[in-house]
A and B are shown apart, each in its own frame.
Chain A
Amino acid sequence: EVQLQQSGPELVKPGASEKISCKTSGYTFTAYNIHWVKQSHGKSLEWIGYIYPYNGGTGYNQKFKGKATLTVDNSSSTAYMELRSLTSEDSAVYYCARHWGYFDYWGQGTTLIVSS
């Protein structure tokens, strides 16, 4: 069974950085891109970027360049997204999703709250 298990909710202060994890199982990790999607409260979905675990190749939405950095640890089949210089605008639920042209499996989401 394909599963993407994300790290738990985080409360962080403005200006800080935070790293969210997405641990996968049930499939060959290096065979599929992992994408990240942001959903602000009550809003639609925004695509952040992707990483190809096979070679570490990445692609980002221009809006999130400099904000998000995507990495992987192939030994643990885990993808990571680090968000830096956090502001209240970064408060949202962040999802990782497996990509096969479209997003066929999603993590449960990680809630990030940025507040002093």
Chain B
Amino acid sequence: DIQMTQSPASLSASVGETVTITCRVSENIYSYLAWYQQKQGKSPQLLVYNAKTLAEGVPSRFSGSGSGTQFSLTINSMQPEDFGSYYCQHHYGTPYTFGGGTKLEIK
């Protein structure tokens, strides 16, 4: 199975900061990578797919980049509603796997 290594596992940031989360993949998945945001007690919500395409309704302060085995999610000018957990997931065929998650907390 494809392994997804996400870093950092946790991150503290202030409102207005720019943060970057990275996802390293064990084999080439081209651009078949998605990012999800999960708030406490809620289901994951799609943010980005195909590595850099924003899902409908996602603010433009979110951006995804990368291809092959290295990917990143950047949040420009963090807002209070952006705090929560973030997960990467490859969609390069089954079995799908997710990263271990990044918990983004307010500083």
- Report the nearest B residue to A45, measured CB to CB: B98
Number of A-B contacts (CB under 8 A): 49
Interface size on A, residues (CB 8 A): 18
Name the prevailing secondary structure of the B interface residues: loop
* A108 interfacial contact with B, CB 8 Å: yes
* A29 interfacial contact with B, CB 8 Å: no
CB pairs A–B below 8 angstroms (12 shown): A35-B96, A44-B87, A44-B99, A44-B101, A45-B89, A46-B98, A47-B94, A47-B98, A59-B94, A62-B95, A102-B50, A102-B91
Cα(A59)–Cα(B94), bound, Å: 8
* A54 interfacial contact with B, CB 8 Å: no
> Is the CB–CB distance between B43 and A108 below 8 Å?
yes
Which chain A residues have a beta carbon within 8 Å of chain B's beta carbons? Answer: 35, 44-47, 50, 59, 61-62, 95, 101-104, 106-109
> Is the CB–CB distance between A102 and B43 below 8 Å?
no
